[in-house]
Chain A
Amino acid sequence: MISGLHIAAKDLREEMRTKQMLNSMIVFSLLVIVIFSIAFEDIISSSNMVSMIAPGALWITFIFAGSLGLSRSFAAELENGCLEGLKLCPVERSEIYIGKVIAGIVLMFFVELVTVPIFSVLFNYPIDGLFSLMVIIVLGTIGFVVVGTLLSALTVNTRTREVLLPVLLLPLVIPVIIPSVLATARVLTGGGIVDVLQEIRLLVVYDVVFFIVAYLVFEHILQD
């Protein structure tokens, strides 16, 4: 676990020096939200319709921006044989996975921290229940990154990895997207944390199950 944290720290330090991925992810999610608010201009102006599309738009933004970051999570290690170096580290392979997951989650939190206020402004949408919303976003992001990091490692050595990652990832994160969107919708329309317990439970189950499975099978991916 500790060595996992070291790997996460290494990734984040590297990211903070260039801010290459973070900037592109933030700008990208900003663009997606702008496009949504242009495309749904009429709907956004009527306050009861906006709550029908806003949660979906928010999560689509997260997932698009997230896939961008995930595709670089392991691909960035291909340069200068960094992946080989990582494999040579005297740590369990699954520690590499944990490190990558932590770094990915932190990166996505940054993006979401910027995206949510912009979303609130451009969709002309006051956000109540910030705490419940935070819980849902955190759980949804963990689930998304847990699976995404595994698949990022899986596709890193394939020919068409940029295309393949979203194709593999999206069907697998259906169980994250649906409860997240449902719960976000309920929270944004004034529901409390008690109203979304069912969704939260499902998200927790997903996070735990997939983290354990990914942790167990990860060593098979980086084998050589």
Chain B
Amino acid sequence: MSDGQRNTRILSIVTGVAMLVAMGMLFFYLPQMKGESGQLLDNSFNIFYFHLPIALVAYLAFTVVFLSSAQFLRSGEHRWDVLSASSAQIGVIFAFLVLITGSIWANATWGWYWIWEPRLTTSLALFLVYLAYLLMRQAVDEPEARARLSAVFGIVGFLSVPLSFLSIRLWRSAHPLMFGDATYGGAGGGLEGTSLQLTLVMNFIAFVLLYATLLMYRVHNEQIQEKINTKKRSME
């Protein structure tokens, strides 16, 4: 077993444990949520501990795509292309999960699965941009051109996302702001209490680890794919 494989295995075990701990904290560690007047809030809020980390990991994944795309254009090294392709694939799945968990939560609290609102629409735009990114990778056969063109799209696509957010913000917002000042709509909510923050941090760590593990497997897969392709070509 090579070093890389051993590292991947260790990382996946750590990730598994972290996910279990994070989920256990959700079910056994968190206190019951109470509203301002002391009534028991329903548990639908708990999906938030998935929703936020997944969203942040999706942003992280797309930032990795952006940075490695820029690195590829600068250096022309093949491994940066592998990295951005792998990260984009994982990012699209996470972006999709953000939409799913968000919709479930929205239906439980607002009563609709979907409303046209800045955060939601931005997440959708993000998802669509990187879906297009994957489609574009599929459409180019020649590996060198594919790497170059998708790197350009990776950069341009990433830049469109904050602008989407700003443009959509011209509409009214209903999404709760967890951090930072509210620049539109009402003031932000906040998380009070150590146990809640701890659970959130643990979930965040677990999801980042999950991303890292998946990324390692994806990169490994791409490398194997590459080897097969070279073998194929040499046999022709």
Contact = CB atoms under 8 A, between A and B. Distances in A.
Contact of B140 (A147, A157, A182, A213): A157
Given A158-B136, A159-B141, A213-B159, A168 B153 contact: yes
Given A171-B128, A223-B148, A217 B139 contact: no
Nearest to A143: B163
Give the top 10 A-B pairs by smallest Cβ distance, nearest first.
Answer: A175-B163, A171-B128, A158-B139, A175-B167, A178-B167, A171-B129, A172-B160, A168-B132, A217-B152, A175-B164
A160 B135 CA distance: 10
A29 to B, nearest CB: 24
B203 to A, nearest CB: 29
Interface string B190-203: 00000000000000
Contact size class for A?
35 or more
Contacts of A223: 148
Nearest to A158: B139
Given A213-B156, A217-B73, A199 B145 contact: no
Interface string A66-108: 0000000000000000000000000000000000000000000
7 contacts: A151-B153, A158-B139, A164-B135, A168-B136, A171-B131, A174-B125, A202-B163
A202 B170 contact: yes
A30 interface: no
Given A167-B135, A171-B128, A172-B129, 19 more contacts: A147-B160, A154-B153, A158-B139, A164-B139, A167-B132, A170-B128, A171-B125, A171-B131, A171-B132, A171-B157, A174-B164, A175-B163, A175-B167, A206-B163, A210-B159, A213-B159, A217-B152, A220-B148, A221-B148
B contacts with A: majority SS: helix
A4 interface: no
A209 interface: yes
Interface string A148-161: 00110011011111
A16 interface: no
Interface in B66-92: 73
Contacts of A205: 163, 166
Nearest to A203: B167
Contact of B151 (A164, A182, A202, A220): A220
Interface of B: 73, 125, 128-129, 131-132, 135-136, 139-141, 145, 148-149, 151-153, 155-157, 159-160, 163-164, 166-168, 170-171
Interface string A193-224: 00000110010011001100110010011010
B186 to A, nearest CB: 20
Interface string A124-163: 0000000000000000000000010011001101111100
A182 B171 CA distance: 9
B136 A164 contact: yes
A189 B163 CA distance: 26
A179 interface: yes
A209 B140 contact: no
A142 to B, nearest CB: 14
B156 A159 contact: no
Contacts of B135: 164, 167-168
B128 to A, nearest CB: 4
Nearest to A209: B159
Given A174-B160, A210-B156, A182 B170 contact: yes
Contact of B166 (A154, A160, A171, A202): A202
